[in-house]
Amino acid sequence: MKRIFALPLMLAALLFFSCPAGAADTMEEGILSWGGDSEGGFPYMFPNPANPDELIGFEVDIVDEIAAYLGKKPAYINNAWDNLIPGLSRSLYDIAINGLEVTPEHEEAVNFSIPYYKTFLQLAARRDSQDINELEDCRGKVVGTLKESYAEMVLDELGDVEIRTYIVEANTYEDLQNGRLDAALFDSPIAIYSAGFNPSIKFVGRPIGEITYAIALPKENRELLREINEAIVYLRDSGKLREIYDRWNLWSPVMAAEFNDYSPRKVEMTRYDDWAESHRPTLSLGDRLKRYVGFLPAFGRAAIITMEVSITAMFIAISLGLALAITRVFAPSWLAGLASCFVEFMRGTPVLIQLFFIFYGLPNIGIKLSPFWAGAVGLGLNYAAYEAEIYRSGLFAIPRTQWEAALALGMTRWQAMREVTLPQAVRVVIPPITNDFISLLKDSSLVSIITMVDLTKAYGQLAAAYYDYFGPGIMVALIYLLIGLPFAKFSRYVEGRLAEQDTGGYKNRANNVYRSSTRWV
């Protein structure tokens, strides 16, 4: 029994030393680490349709140029869009850039560089729609937009609008095309790339508002702010910024007025043309399958991260859950009460909130865990509460007469629990523990909110980049199935082996009690 329960701790320790430290430890001299969200992030940052392992986008080009000017190497760290600014206070990266809008709320939390891009909101409707031609026509309608964005604020101020927020822009336009929305309101660059060549959608109305993009930095890093501003001025005055915007088809009258540059296009819009070509609806079945094969390396890397987090979290859950169950059953009442409070708290609060608190909240009191360990510990603590209840049920499933018989034969309480009750309880709880591991494997997708690119996050990134949720969805579902099946098979194998040792039913268990107890009489 000692070996059984020591194994999880040994493997967890092994994973601790073998797993990467995570985003929190990536800052080095000569490195400019930057945070962004590549899921649905076109044209800002997204996987290259021609090579899914390559990150491209006009903001990727800007960061590359800034890093080159500063003599540093850029290092990208993925984070959810609405967590980019909290990630700066968490010291996950040096700068954040992803169409971040300069608003009073944002300026209270971070410093912003001088603007590198200005744009406006673009309203879109279905091509067959006749009742939405201006922003005011959205009253009484269902409108989709980006979560926690300037567009959401505009719709909220308009009033009498049912606002549906999204974290992936392409999903909004899909819902618009499918009739789930009456209109969509997004920044112009998003609209151009998400719906500019969609025959089912049209742009309506005048440009709405003014949006300023700037690079976000921590309040305390004034020197880096000065260097970033200096680099942006250089890129603007040298014409490099204009070339980037021309290649991505993002030069507009607003930018012409901002830069006082009304000259013709400097370079061809090659990046935009490549994007449009990769999304033409003429892809043959063979080309589509070839594309799916190209996804395998990215899915493979993400699957390894999913497995590492899930296995480590489950070892934490099993070990802590067993300790909690024993405490609740055998410990003094005050200690059992504390264990009960922990179980009820962890079961009564969402695991997503727990992950946010561990990753973004605990640094306020000096506890900084890497993304890997924040995810593993968060999931492990949450599932430990459920494992504790499973173990407790297993302990209660063993007839009390066996416990009493062991004590009558001279065993101590600890010896009776270790030699008689616990081994039988383990066999009882193996099936539900396996089910819990499968559930944890799927819940591990939540770690994407703390900068980790797991299997679900990789699916979202690639599916959004290609407007294809069908094929990649089947691939990811099969990968999850293949990951979970071996554990289910192993569980049935162990359960069968333990059952072979217990074929005599209650009589055989009684004999085991007697044989175990003779050492103590």
pLDDT of residue 6: 42
C-alpha atoms less than 13 angstroms from C-alpha of 224 in its C-beta half-sphere:
23
Residue 97 clears pLDDT 90, i.e. is over it: yes
**Which residue ranges make up each domain of the chain?**
23-115+214-280, 118-212, 288-517
Express each pLDDT in 434-451 by its tens digit. Answer: 778 888 888 888 888 787
Average pLDDT over residues 208-229: 94
Architecture of domain 288-517: Orthogonal Bundle (1.10)
Pairing of strands 117-126, 201-213: antiparallel
Architecture of domain 118-212: 3-Layer(aba) Sandwich (3.40)
- Residues 6+ away with beta carbon under 8 Å from 358: 369, 374, 377, 378
Residue 295, Cα to own-chain centre: how many angstroms? 18
Q: From the CA atom positions of the chain, what is the Rg in Å?
A: 28
Residue 291 clears pLDDT 90, i.e. is over it: no
For the chain, percent of residues with pLDDT exceeding 70: 88
Nearest to 2 by CA among 369, 321, 426: 426
Left, alpha or beta for 148 (phi > 0: left; psi -120 to 50: alpha)?
left
Which one has a higher pLDDT value, 191 or 11?
191
Of 158-172, 307-321, 406-420, 454-468, the range with the lowest mean pLDDT is 406-420
Average pLDDT over residues 102-118: 91
pLDDT of residue 470: 86
Residue 242 clears pLDDT 60, i.e. is over it: yes
The answer to whether 244 and 271 are in contact (CB under 8 A) is no
Express each pLDDT in 72-82 by its tens digit. Answer: 999 999 988 88
Same fold, 23-115+214-280 and 118-212: yes
- Using the 8-state DSSP alphabet, how is residue 218 labeled? -
Fold of 23-115+214-280: D-Maltodextrin-Binding Protein; domain 2 (3.40.190)
pLDDT of residue 290: 85
Average pLDDT over residues 218-234: 94
pLDDT of residue 503: 53
Q: What average pLDDT is seen over the chain?
A: 84
